[in-house]
């Protein structure tokens, strides 16, 4: 394979970039980069009723955030433009006329009410609902009569009878369809705008797309497109349909499924790292050559092959995504982690929008203290809750620690040190060692009561750094409260 490789991602501008769409874009991008080919971003905007004005820009922004760039599109241009379907209507009309003139397509005047009545009758007979072909052989007189009623026709493709349609799929092998189960399908609506199946076929041909890589949900469209390729005398591209993505209950993921965050923009807003999202979705239905799972975009492109795309459904494991993002966050530059996390503390009202230099330094230290633990930026709000509380509600486990007999002695000795020490982590660490020498208590008997007393938690990040960030006044107040009740 060489520069003849041309692939495309062709989303409809109907909303945010779904995780399934992101995977299709990624697979096409990786395939193109692996083979030194061309990746085209095309906008399929023929469904005017569902289009959203800003969707194209948001889709492109989400792809760029993931690191997925393209070679040709509405913003970059290219030899095979325009790259929006609605800008290509004149191109489509040539092929509509060709099919009509050759008798491979025809005008159909049936109303929605007539079509629904036909489907109901078919269901009543136990048949699969499909268009009956009523208007296949209308005379000119019949057409004029319908038009006199004010009816506007659609254009339907004449599906040949008794034909075995074989889709040669690089992922699934040969998939066979019976043309008798398809029914004559609409290629141009009443308003003159082509349907998706027709537009995408023409566009893929004219843009010299060599491989069509997309999700399994598009497999049912493919026989219609193969029929159009054949009727127009076009060469059929190579198809590859990636598996469905299932939720954690192994059910098909729907956009209404609230158990999973499904849109790329949401992950960006939550403070996920794009490298982790890319790494994770690449493994949804594709397997790398070795055991290593943590792979950069460059490494993914080097390894990506269609024969490693898996037929079996991929399960969207939220916990694995959080784990993977945590691995990336641990390795990230602290400045970047702070930049991703700080807005969430501001949004939660924990910090002001206009911070002093001192507040910024404090916030920086607070976030980097929790960097090892964070799975995504927004999690900083939950992880740092204890730093913004005036009082702690100690749970039963914490109370059990504070009830140990050595605790009053340890806390009293530590309180004395807190009042006089220099307020920085090394001084706190030295103070704890002095308490150990004075009281004879060490290990869990020393550190656990101090941690629980000042944080309310049994476990957490570096204790001296935590104490310094809490502030002397807050630490003393919590110690005083406990010792007064002792």
Tokens at residue 116, please? Answer: 């629904």
Computed on alpha carbons and rounded to an integer, the radius of gyration of the chain in Å comes to 32
Contact at 8 Å (CB) between 175 and 167? yes
Closest CA to 411 of 388, 441, 391, 384: 441
CA angle 476, 379, 381 (to 5 degrees): 40
Compute, in degrees rounded to 10, the torsion defined by CA atoms 161, 167, 172, 176: 20
SS3 467: helix
At residue 135, φ and ψ (nearest 5 deg) are -100, 20
Cα–Cα distances (Å) from 190 to 106, 107, 117, 150, 186, in that order, read 13, 10, 19, 12, 10
Instruction: Report the interhelical angle of 334-347 vs 357-369 (nearest 10°).
Output: 110
Transcribe 28-60 into DSSP letters.
HHHHHHHHT-EEEE-B----TTT--TTHHHHHH
Pairing of strands 186-188, 154-157: antiparallel
Token pair 């950069």: residue: 296
Active site members: 255
The pairs formed by 346-355 with CB atoms below 8 angstroms and a separation of 24 or more are: 348/381, 350/381, 350/384, 350/388
Which strand ranges, in their side-by-side order, compose the sheet holding 211-215? 173-178, 164-169, 238-242, 211-215
Contact at 8 Å (CB) between 180 and 162? yes
In 196-252, at which residue ranges do the beta strands (DSSP E only) sit? 211-215, 238-242, 245-246
> What's the rounded Cα separation, in Å, for the pair 345 and 341?
7
Residue 88 per-residue DSSP state:
-
> What's the rounded Cα separation, in Å, for the pair 337 and 372?
10
> What's the rounded Cα separation, in Å, for the pair 196 and 170?
23
Contact at 8 Å (CB) between 222 and 167? yes
Cα–Cα distances (Å) from 346 to 225, 273, 337, 340, 352, in that order, read 51, 20, 15, 12, 6
């Amino acid at each position: 394979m060489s520069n003849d490789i041309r692939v495309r991602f062709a989303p409809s501008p109907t909303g945010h970039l779904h995780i399934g769409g992101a995977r299709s874009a990624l697979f096409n991008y990786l395939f193109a980069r692996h083979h030194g080919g061309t990746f085209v971003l095309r906008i399929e905007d023929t469904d005017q009723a569902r289009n959203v004005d800003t969707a194209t820009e948001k889709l492109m922004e989400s792809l760029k955030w993931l690191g997925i760039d393209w070679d040709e599109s509405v913003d970059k241009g290219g030899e095979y433009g325009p790259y929006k379907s609605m800008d290509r209507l004149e191109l489509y009309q040539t092929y509509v006329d060709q099919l009509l003139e050759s008798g491979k397509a025809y005008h159909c005047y049936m109303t929605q009410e007539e079509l629904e009545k036909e489907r109901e009758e078919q269901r009543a007979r136990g048949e699969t609902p499909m268009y009956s072909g009523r208007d296949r052989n209308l005379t000119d007189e019949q057409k004029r009569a319908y038009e006199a009623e004010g009816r506007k026709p659609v254009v339907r493709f004449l599906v040949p009878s008794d034909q075995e349609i074989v889709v040669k799929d690089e992922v699934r092998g040969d998939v066979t369809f019976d043309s008798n189960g398809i029914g004559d399908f609409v290629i141009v609506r009443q308003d003159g705008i082509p349907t998706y199946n027709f537009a995408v076929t023409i566009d893929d041909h004219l843009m010299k797309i060599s491989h069509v890589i997309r999700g399994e949900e598009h497999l049912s469209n493919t026989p219609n497109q193969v029929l159009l390729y054949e009727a127009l005398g076009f060469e059929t591209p190579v198809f590859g349909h990636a598996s469905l993505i299932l939720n954690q209950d192994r059910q098909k993921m729907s956009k209404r499924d609230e158990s999973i965050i499904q849109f790329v923009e949401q992950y960006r807003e939550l403070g996920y790292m794009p490298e982790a999202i890319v790494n994770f979705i690449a493994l949804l239905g594709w397997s790398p050559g070795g055991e290593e799972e943590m792979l950069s975009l460059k490494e993914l492109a080097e390894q990506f092959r269609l024969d490693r795309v898996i037929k079996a459904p991929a399960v969207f494991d939220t916990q694995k995504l959080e784990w993977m993002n945590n691995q990336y966050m641990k390795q990230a530059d602290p400045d970047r982690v702070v930049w991703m996390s700080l807005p969430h503390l501001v949004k939660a009202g924990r910090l002001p929008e206009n911070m002093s230099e001192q507040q910024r330094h404090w916030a920086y230290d607070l976030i980097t203290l929790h960097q090892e633990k964070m799975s995504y930026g927004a999690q900083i709000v939950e992880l740092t809750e204890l730093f913004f509380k005036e009082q702690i509600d100690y749970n039963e486990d914490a109370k059990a620690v504070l009830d140990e007999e050595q605790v009053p002695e340890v806390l009293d000795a530590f309180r004395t040190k807190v009042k006089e020490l220099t307020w920085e982590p090394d001084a706190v660490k030295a103070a704890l060692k002095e308490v150990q020498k004075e009281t004879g208590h060490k290990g869990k008997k020393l550190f656990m009561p101090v941690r629980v007393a000042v944080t309310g938690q049994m476990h957490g990040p570096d204790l001296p750094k935590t104490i310094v960030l809490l502030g002397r006044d807050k630490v003393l107040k919590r110690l005083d409260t406990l010792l007064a009740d002792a």
